Amino acid sequence: MKVCITAQGALLESKVENRFGRAPYFIIADTETGSFEAVVNPFADGSGGVGPKAANLIIEHQAGALISGLLGGNAKAVLDMAGVEQFVYQAGGTVSDALDAFKKNTLDRVK
Amino acid sequence: MIRIAVVSGKGGTGKTMITAALSCLLKGSLVLADCDVDAANLSLVLSPRLIRTDPFMGMKAAVIDPDLCTECGACREHCRFDAVEIDDGAYQINPSRCEGCAVCTLVCPADAVTMQPRQTGVIMYSEVDRGHLVHARLVPGAGNSGLLVHAVKKTALQEDGDAEKFLVDGPPGTGCPLISSVSGMNAVIVVTEPSVSGLHDMKRVITVCRQFRVKIFVVINRYDLDVTKTEETEAYCLEESIPLIGKIPFDPAVISAVRAGVPVTDQGQGPASLSICGIADTLEKELVNLAAR
Amino acid sequence: MKLAIASGKGGTGKSMTAANLAFTLASDRLVSLVDCDVEEPNLHLFFPSKTTPRDVTLPIPVIDESVCTYCGKCGEFCRYGAISVLPKKILFFADLCHSCGGCTLLCPEHAIHEVPKRIGTLSVSTPLPGLKLVTGTLDSGSPLAVPIIHAVKLEAESDPLVILDTAPGTSCPVVEALEGCDACILVTESTPFGLHDLELAVDVTKRLGIPAAVIINRSDGKDEETLRFCEQQDLPVLLTIPFSREIAAVQSRGDLLCRAYPEWQKAFRLVFSKAESLMEAKS
């Protein structure tokens, strides 16, 4: 499955970004192959509605799950509709840390 | 990094003076941002030394090419923001009214309208005694100040992302600039004053801050000007379980400090200064608890 | 005749000035007091009275999914991210919509029509026999202050004397409130903060071609720099209100200076007659 993690930089060592729509990067990691891709978020500096726009973007990248710190209601609605599960990561670590926690199944699901 | 925004709801409650004093008192490395981009005042008491200035591009706005325009009036008819004006028979866009929706580009039969980026402000990156300060100036009457707030915060995080604390002086009100200021922060300090309007506006701003799940603290400034209203504010905080981290007495030293262009804590040990030192201590302890959570 | 009360800096006493002027003038003429600070409206706190607020609405789209082909054109066009089109579903976010009407115009299937959506409220009351109070309140979290300001101004459009209280600052809500006004009183305080923000506010009134004058509030007597600026800019100083704990206490409890100390009414009448001559000089 492809998992999207909001990040402050383009690497697995980058810190997880707490915000979703305004995250500078989306790291799309493939849990089966271990490969990953960094997608620059073109909406990070947008003036409004960045949550749903970013949600559409990660859906286009075929993410099946999202890991972020905080998620707005509008973005959540889009992801729910597309069947993308959402998980909260607020421990202040890196993208790798968040991905490990996800694989160990220790992250809370966004309700 | 711990991110703290100082906000107020009502203007003129002493937000900037408290931010300036806290910037001198808080421990560890620090980066500051003045997000009251409509009326940025933090630089007036922190003597910044300018390092560089960047242009701020707001949302794209419509521009009519007079050579292509056939003056059919379709854009004016469809613009819901009354941004299309006729000057001496020529159709033009009033940029301060344009919301950037691009409906005019959709309806123009002559393809005379395009969406163009426009500069609506400047962002300044400066050095102050405690670290760096990012401040900005919005072109008067320009919209999108929320976006400028976002750009100011982003500059601070890009340049000084390794600082231990990020302190933001927020705007008054509850609109988009306030929302942009509070977004992504760990804590907000709501500065209020003991008056009917101070209490009313504090409640409104707290409602908005709660949507962002940030830790909220309250400070009552000039609390001794109305003891009854101060008690009312205290009762509200207690009821809502919002920590009141300080009450600052009215002190003429505050105005003299602003006139001298320095934080009040630089001007000896007056009552306001002592009280703000106490607030800084309490805040440090609360932030340790917050980080531990 | 429309007189705006504005200030660059917040908390300088803008609402206090507007309320006292309206209170004083309403004893012998009809006054409409319009609160254009829709993010934090405060004038109603000085004039408690019963009102029935009515909704201020904007048209927003409704998408008929039985007709929609999920082509995605509306979602692509919307600059505000208010429409998300998925392969078999379309989502609309009313809180992001700016009501531009683009999606409705654009839809090739004509699957979109518009319905009204509330963005805030407007209330009209008569707290005193000669006083009409119009208050606009933006729903919290809504970014659309300008349409509410437009609605409150329209409510008093044809009234003989209108006093408008604007939001602090210099951005679009302030410009919306000031447009069409005959004169503007800028309330300031004699600190570097007050002066810095007064300069910004004067810039706005000049751009709009509105004659302006100044009231200095909470003065501690050290007004030289502000007075010098006003002289340079040819801005008459209509009144200087000293700082005093008595005046501050009147304010805090939500009372009016001119009600608590009627001797102040004379000063506010004088402010108004000077402002009137400003407007006449313009026309």
**Please, are residues B175 and C146 in contact by the beta-carbon 8 Å criterion?**
no
Task: Give the CATH number of the domain where residue A96 resides.
Answer: 3.30.420.130
pLDDT, tens digit, for every residue of C224-268?
999 999 999 999 999 999 999 899 889 888 899 999 999 999 999
pLDDT at site B293: 64
What ipTM, to 2 d.p.?
0.85
Question: Quick check: B13 and C77 CB within 8 A?
Answer: no
Which chain A residue is nearest to residue B182, measuring alpha carbons?
A: A19
Q: And the tokens for B48? A: 């910044």
Chain B residues whose CB is inside 8 A of the C192 CB are 41, 44-45, 258-259, 261
Average pLDDT on A8-30 reads: 93
B269: CB partners within 8 A, 6+ apart:
none
Distance from C-alpha of B75 to C-alpha of C208, rounded to nearest angstrom: 24
Given a cut of 90, is residue B159 above it in pLDDT? Answer: yes
| Gyration radius of chain A's alpha carbons | 12
Question: Quick check: A78 and C84 CB within 8 A?
Answer: yes
The answer to whether B210 contacts chain A (CB < 8 Å) is no
Nearest-by-Cβ selection for A70 from B146, B150, B213 = B213
Q: What percent of chain C has pLDDT over 70?
A: 99
CA distance C241 to chain B (A): 16
Given a cut of 90, is residue B236 above it in pLDDT? Answer: yes
DSSP output for B144-194? -HHHHHHHHHHHHHHHHTT-SEEEEE--SSSSHHHHHHHTT-SEEEEEE-S
Write the single-letter amino acid at B227. Answer: V
Could you say which residues from 4 to 33 on chain B have a Cβ atom under 8 Å away from some Cβ of chain C?
Answer: 8-13, 16
B242 CB-side CA count, 13 A? 26
pTM above 0.95, yes or no: no
B214: CB partners within 8 A, 6+ apart:
B5, B182, B185, B186, B187, B188
The answer to whether A33 contacts chain B (CB < 8 Å) is no
pLDDT, tens digit, for every residue of B17-35?
999 999 999 999 999 999 9
Question: Quick check: B147 and A22 CB within 8 A?
Answer: no
Tally of domains within chain A: 1
The answer to whether C270 contacts chain A (CB < 8 Å) is no
Average pLDDT on C45-69 reads: 94
Weakest mean pLDDT among B145-154, C29-38, C135-144: C135-144
Given a cut of 80, is residue B170 above it in pLDDT? Answer: yes
CA distances from B143 to A103, B45, B94, B97, C151 (A): 45, 27, 12, 8, 19
pLDDT band at B59, cuts 50/70/90? confident
Neighbours of A40 (CB within 10 A): 10
pLDDT at site B179: 87
pLDDT, tens digit, for every residue of B246-275?
999 999 999 999 999 999 999 888 999 999
Average pLDDT on B50-65 reads: 94
The answer to whether B109 contacts chain C (CB < 8 Å) is no
Question: Quick check: A46 and C82 CB within 8 A?
Answer: no
Q: Tell me the residue range of the domain where A88 lies.
A: 1-107
Render the burial of B60-72: b for 16+ CB within 10 Å, e for the rest. Answer: bbbbbeeeebeee
pLDDT band at C40, cuts 50/70/90? confident
pLDDT at site C103: 97
CA-wise closest residue to C173 among B100, B79, B73, B142: B142
| 3-state DSSP percent of chain B in helix, strand and coil, to 5 | 40, 25, 35
pLDDT at site C283: 63
Average pLDDT on A2-21 reads: 93
Neighbours of A67 (CB within 10 A): 26
pLDDT band at C151, cuts 50/70/90? very high
Q: How many residues does chain C have?
A: 283
pLDDT, tens digit, for every residue of C105-142?
999 999 999 999 999 999 999 999 999 999 999 987 67
CA distance C93 to chain A (A): 7
User: Which residue of C40, C97, C222, C245 is the best one to mutate when testing the B interface, meaning the one whose CB has the most B CBs within 10 A?
Assistant: C40
Could you say which residues from 207 to 236 on chain B have a Cβ atom under 8 Å away from some Cβ of chain C?
Answer: 207-208, 211, 222, 225-226, 228-229
**Please, are residues B260 and B233 in contact by the beta-carbon 8 Å criterion?**
no
Q: What are phi and psi of B233, to 5 degrees?
A: -65, -40
What are residue B220's DSSP bridge partners?
B192, B247
B78: CB partners within 8 A, 6+ apart:
B103, B104, B106, B107, C101, C105
CA distance A93 to chain C (A): 30
Contacting subunits of A (3+ beta carbon pairs below 8 A)? B, C
Distance from C-alpha of B36 to C-alpha of C190, rounded to nearest angstrom: 20
Nearest-by-Cβ selection for C207 from B8, B141, B173 = B141
Distance from C-alpha of C258 to C-alpha of C267, rounded to nearest angstrom: 9
pLDDT, tens digit, for every residue of B96-145?
889 899 999 999 999 999 999 889 899 999 999 999 999 999 887 777 78
Contacting subunits of B (3+ beta carbon pairs below 8 A)? A, C
Summary mean pLDDT of chain C: 93
Q: And the tokens for C249? A: 């206490």
Summary mean pLDDT of chain B: 93
Question: Quick check: B59 and A47 CB within 8 A?
Answer: yes
Chain B residues whose CB is inside 8 A of the A22 CB are 150, 183-184
pLDDT at site B291: 78
pLDDT, tens digit, for every residue of C158-167?
999 999 999 9
Distance from C-alpha of B281 to C-alpha of B289, rounded to nearest angstrom: 13
pLDDT at site C253: 87
Chain B residues whose CB is inside 8 A of the A47 CB are 58-59, 100, 144, 146-147
Q: And the tokens for B51? A: 């390092």
The answer to whether C91 contacts chain A (CB < 8 Å) is yes
Which chain B residue is nearest to residue A48, measuring alpha carbons?
A: B147
Write the single-letter amino acid at A102. Answer: F
pLDDT at site C172: 84
CA distance C123 to chain B (A): 18
The answer to whether B151 contacts chain A (CB < 8 Å) is yes
Chain A residues whose CB is inside 8 A of the C86 CB are 56, 59, 78, 81-82
Question: What are the structural domains, with CATH classification, of chain B?
Answer: 2-57+121-291 (3.40.50.300), 61-117 (3.30.70.20)
Given a cut of 90, is residue B9 above it in pLDDT? Answer: no
